[in-house]
Amino acid sequence: MALRLAARGIAVALVATIAFAASAQDNLISNGDFEADTTDPWGVYGDATLTLDTAEKHGGSASGKVEVASVGANFWDAGLQYNVDVTFTGGMLYTWSAFVKSTGAKQINWKPELAADPWTAYGEEMKTMTGEWTEYYLEFTPDVDADPASLTMHIQADDEDFWVDDARWYAGAYTPPVITAVDAEGKVATTWGSLKSR
């Protein structure tokens, strides 16, 4: 009984702040959660802009908002890219995931690629984003080493705006993120699983 009361006390003390951390794999993306008060090292090209948005976010205090001004002649005419210090090792399985929300049904082509002509794809998939925060992921295995490489989202199939948050890229098959509750001062953190087991 005392343990149950203690667990309830801990649960009450926790604020409804949820942090989405990488799972057991090391996340190779820097600032994938946009908590660094900047959009760097993310970038866009084509008829699109990228800004930090503190009003709309999946977790933490901010997300990256991408505004797409027009429909392109080709869906790859504009894109969101993460391509700083990105290299792929041939034969290695990778997973790239992110939580995305759009203003409407939005087509985004996820393409891990060589970041130079001829822009070789190492697995790509057109995915439909929605108005709800959803984690999308792509598993891919390059057949050769790629350096420089890029995690690219081709975004000009339509002109719907979208937000991205809690992005991950790691070696290995997809695993769901670990959901952690944090107190108001950020001093206490516990997983929901460990809290429930107390």
Express each pLDDT in 7-16 by its tens digit: 444 443 333 3
pLDDT confidence tier of residue 181, bands split at 50, 70 and 90: low
**Does pLDDT of 63 surpass 60?**
yes
CA distance 40 to 122: 24
Residue range 172-182: average pLDDT? Answer: 81
**How many C-beta neighbours within 10 Å does residue 134 have?**
15
* pLDDT, position 8: 44
pLDDT confidence band for 178 (50 / 70 / 90): confident
Query: Which residue ranges make up each domain of the chain?
Result: 23-176
Q: What's the topology of domain 23-176?
A: Jelly Rolls (2.60.120)
Q: What is the pLDDT of residue 162?
A: 98
CA distance 34 to 31: 5
Q: Over 70: is that where the pLDDT of 132 sits?
A: yes
**pLDDT over 90 at 4, yes or no:** no
pLDDT at 180: 64
Output the average pLDDT for the chain: 85
16 vs 172, which has greater pLDDT?
Answer: 172
Q: pLDDT tens across 80-106, in order?
A: 999 999 999 999 999 999 999 999 999
Query: DSSP assignment of 129-166, as one string?
Result: E-SS-EEEEEEE--SS-BSSEEEEEE-TTS---EEEEE
Q: Does 3 score more than 60 pLDDT? A: no
